[in-house]
Amino acid sequence: MSTRTAGTWARKVATADWAAAATDLDRFGGALLPRLLTTEEASAIRDLYGRDEVFRSTIDMSRHRFGCGEYRYFDTPYPQPVDELKPGVDHTGGEFLLVEQRPRAQSRGTATLLPHGHGYVCTTRDRPVRTARGWSAAPVRHGVSAIRSGERHTLALVFHDAA
């Protein structure tokens, strides 16, 4: 990544309200970020999906009972992050889902429709919850709602994999 590109990304990421994102992460397990990709950048990343040589593995979701479709892990070096197609234009459905399992209570779910080019940061396991005895870990699952029409492509940066 060139210095100019790195500076552009730093400015885009800096536009996020990180205090609000941290609050939403603590409260809900996820937070919508500002637009990170232009339409052209999103298209360029989407076009990489057909190039097997840039991925280290492909996961068949139905094989693992994650739903239908597939996801792929980029090989290093990673391309610039997170692509989301235009909801309602390229596809319908495909909202990002978070479900928190609560002890002795109903699970609580949220659905977020990501605008084109925006980022989303979420927990992949637990979020902190205040309890009568202090703090506890609330299990949070994530996924995507059914695609009703079209195709949905997403590129994700897995932070525990990025180091």
Per-residue model confidence as pLDDT tens digits over 72-109? 777 766 565 433 333 455 667 788 888 888 877 888 88
Q: 36 in a domain, yes or no?
A: yes
Name the 3-class secondary structure at 89: coil
| Torsion, Cα of 72, 11, 115, 90 (10° steps) | -50
**Percentage of residues in the chain having pLDDT higher than 70:** 76
- The model's confidence at residue 27, banded by pLDDT at 50, 70 and 90, is confident
- Domain of residue 151: give its range: 3-51+81-162
d(CA 10, CA 57): 28
Domain count for the chain, please give it: 1
Name the 3-class secondary structure at 13: helix
- The token pair that represents 162 in the structure block: 């990025």
Q: 86 in a domain, yes or no?
A: yes
d(CA 74, CA 83): 13
Average pLDDT along the chain: 76
pLDDT over 90 (residue 120): no
Q: How far apart are the first and last CA of the chain?
A: 16
pLDDT for res 162: 47
Q: What is the pLDDT of residues 40-50, one digit of tens each?
A: 887 888 888 88
pTM above 0.85, yes or no: no
- The token pair that represents 127 in the structure block: 């979020």
Q: 37 in a domain, yes or no?
A: yes
Mean pLDDT of 143-155: 77
pLDDT over 60 (residue 56): yes
Q: 58 in a domain, yes or no?
A: no
d(CA 158, CA 77): 13
Name the 3-class secondary structure at 162: helix
Q: 94 in a domain, yes or no?
A: yes
Q: 95 in a domain, yes or no?
A: yes
Residue 147 in contact with residue 70, Cβ under 8 Å? no
Mean pLDDT of 10-20: 86
Q: 42 in a domain, yes or no?
A: yes
Q: 124 in a domain, yes or no?
A: yes
